[in-house]
Structure 1
């Protein structure tokens, strides 16, 4: 029987964070077998670890209950902490190599190169229609974009916290839009104050209504800010996610103007 560990990431409290399954020895598992395990676990993602021929290096794959995703940040944090390792690890994912520094309680992920691109008018209209948002409810300082930090995400910024809090969306409509654009989640944000954001991440592509913490989206968001010229110097962002779900999560994001890789840090604890 496959041993599945259960951790929650981006929190030091088992009642907070985003739960993830971790299979530290996935050798011999098939794609169908991994998908079946992820569906049985029922978390937004389960990470599957395979051996690599270099020291402190591993192949890692990530499955939601319905699909494989190229990269998952919170499951990477959970996996690194579950390994009980102090030092640097290299996780070889479908998106490329992700370097992970861990002290055994927290992990810092360094993304693959980030990028972003504008959202077309038709796609934006469809996204807002699925969310039930109006164009006038968007924060004009933050243009709608597709952002990548290991996986693609739709970034939309709400003008008010109330708009972000009132999330009741068309599951099938948003899933279809994200799938057509090879995106994983919609990363919905509100600027609470300078360098502090609230976020929510619908994940219908994976069969999940909402993620309580989305490290991959946080990495993409850091790259997005750089691409729109909002990183004049090194910035450390604090992203609060999961509050509206009753699972508070805190993600720390480091982004620099002179590099396209972003770092996100978070804790993880067993469930």
Structure 2
């Protein structure tokens, strides 16, 4: 007889205000324990030293976590000029220093080159795999991983403040972006070197910081009936996508993996969308010629 998977069938989203000094996987494990959940995962990692929005998916929400992972995300970060480190942030060892400092005008003039579709080389200390190994494991062992530049979409990069040795910036980018690489590349282009000293994610897809809960609050309510009140519904993770409204008969067809007629929608042909019956998510899929075609069925 197969062993039953331990844990509760609890589904939804938890927006965590991740503190510095803890890894994203550690947060997921803590949340899974606190909710006694069968399944949990995160929608886009944060560096251990970074803070802010870390979206945790529980239960059925794990089926659509890609809708958040692929969404735009926003960051506020500070770059310190004059030093390049092994990790491109304050936790690394100093590789090189410079006495040069950029003017506000020079910084603002450089920023447009990092907006739009760009190519970005990840930091040596990153989770990118090289020949099956994590780059950060190679770097910790003294090796120099050969990382290839990757495509990245940057929606916005703006300067909030510039003050001598440091600058505060705001970034909105797509999946796979490294803020540390932005700081490194800006420092090199401006001839002054640079690394990240603080990094905070302020929103991720439809989830914003004002909806986030602290680790202290999670620990306070861990394994109590009240903890479920912290969860957002599965539908909250789909609010940035157009919805296809369907009736009960269509919902049953969709849950069986079949295409079905749509009552109403604002989706265009081929759009990624989700089907809803009486406000409840039925599946994630695509809209084509009056029908919803499911790709991930939700059992909420």
Normalised by the length of structure 2, the TM-score is 0.23
Larger Rg: 2
